[in-house]
Structure 1
Amino acid sequence: MSGATGGGSGEADGGGGAADGAGRRSTGPNVSASPGAGEDWAALLRHTALDVAPRLLGSVLTVREPAPAGDASRPGGGEEGDGGERVGVVSIRLTEVEAYCGEVDPGSHAFRGRTTRNAPMFEGGGRLYVYFSYGMHWCANLVCGPAGQASAVLLRGGEVVAGHDLARKRRRAARTDRDLARGPARLAQSLGLTGADSGLALTPGGRAELELGAPVDAARVRTGPRVGVAGPGGDAGRYPWRFWIDGEATVSTYRPAAPRRR
């Protein structure tokens, strides 16, 4: 899930073209039951991934770099202000996400229970879960739901809305600004997120914070199968848990899981 159990949904991703043309309008309960516009992000992230995911579309995640050595929002951190100086900020408006629902979801990293790597998923909403994919890329998730549920939303794509120069410096391979955060690995790289940030709590004014946007019109929200998820978790009928804003250039191209060698 936070990527697939095989790491599939955390691919670098990005190819050309639009999102999966088979995407459906998300007019079902996942959108209509989502928390309302008046809720703050902390209240939102107490809900399940299926409620949170479509509501995150249009919201802005900001990451400041570097965090003070004693940032209290980081597990084990000390008092705010006893470390270094923040020298850069990147903000991304989210346009594509995927929901992963813990131990009941065969596509989730938490499907087989708690491990050292996925421990932040079990610690309750309002923090990051960052994992390494394919031995090459970091991918970032927002943990949601109550502690022990291991529910989280993979941040698959977005538009850089602040800190373009820093994002371009981190993503020198990007040919256009559209590609700075188009795909989960690119998004994490543009924000400067790594495994050291896994478990980091979102904090207003801290290293990472979330600003909820106005709810996206349900007519513009599309759903479809999660990218690169193999096995039962990739079943498009049972798990159409990828959400994106129709017509956004920063949405990545859908790719099914690669066939497994026998």
Structure 2
Amino acid sequence: MTELGRIINDYFNNIFSSVHSNENFLFHCVPRKLDEFHNVELLRPIRGEEVKAAIFSMYPDKAPGPDGMSPRFFQHFWDVVGPDFIKFCADAFQSGWEQAQQTAIALANQGSTCTSLWRRPLQGRVKLNVDAAVRDYHCGLGWILRNEEGVFVAGAAKSWRGKLSPLEAELVGIREALSWVKEQGWERVDVELDAARAIAEIKNGSCISSAGVIAEDVRDLCSRMMDISFCFIRRSANRAAHGFAQVACSMSGCRIWIGDPPNFITHVLNSDLITIN
């Protein structure tokens, strides 16, 4: 019986195994970056008809939620509960990532392998990380510019007086940082920040709100530069800009460092360099 089992096992192993595996070739064929189309789709606001289509595509008696309500309930009473449910989903898309991000940061601090790390730009480009820290009646803006080797080029901490929402503060930070970068002559710039809503406002926003007006300023700046890209990252990949923004909260005016980074940020820069080597 043992011999028969071995023969059967060898037979099926020979059928379902390959001596020359194409696994690595296949993995390299899978795109590992989002293209512009998918990035825009992921960042745009959720639409009510999408939520409704998802609910009505579910089998009525399947997948009850924590409240015990099945899809049948929402389908039957959609005219009553639909608007509230759409708002709930939209809020989850806008703020739910923050809780997930906190989890990811906690895991990274405990030494787990985390893919949310700073990456250097491609050859011939520079990377601009931006962040904002909001206080009661002022906020701190911070940005840092690094080259294709991950080396510090410049950084800035700027105090901004006035009451701004977190979204407005992030947009002001982008505007001020890009304006400075443009003055220095940099044209091929990858902009990174940990505020998805700010990127969405720049890509899809209108001018009917204060945030929309600031976003329009950013779009105007971008139109006068050669090649600008925006990317949403986790806070763990934006620690350097965050450090500058925190310092800006406790100072007045604007301070810029060129060539030599300030002491309060060197440990972050060294850590980021380790991750790219």
* TM-score normalised by the chain length of structure 1: 0.27
Higher relative CO (CA 8 A, sep ≥ 6), structure 1 or 2?
A: 1
Higher gyration radius (CA) = 2
**TM-score of the aligned structures, taking structure 2 as reference length:** 0.26
Q: Which has the higher strand share?
A: 1
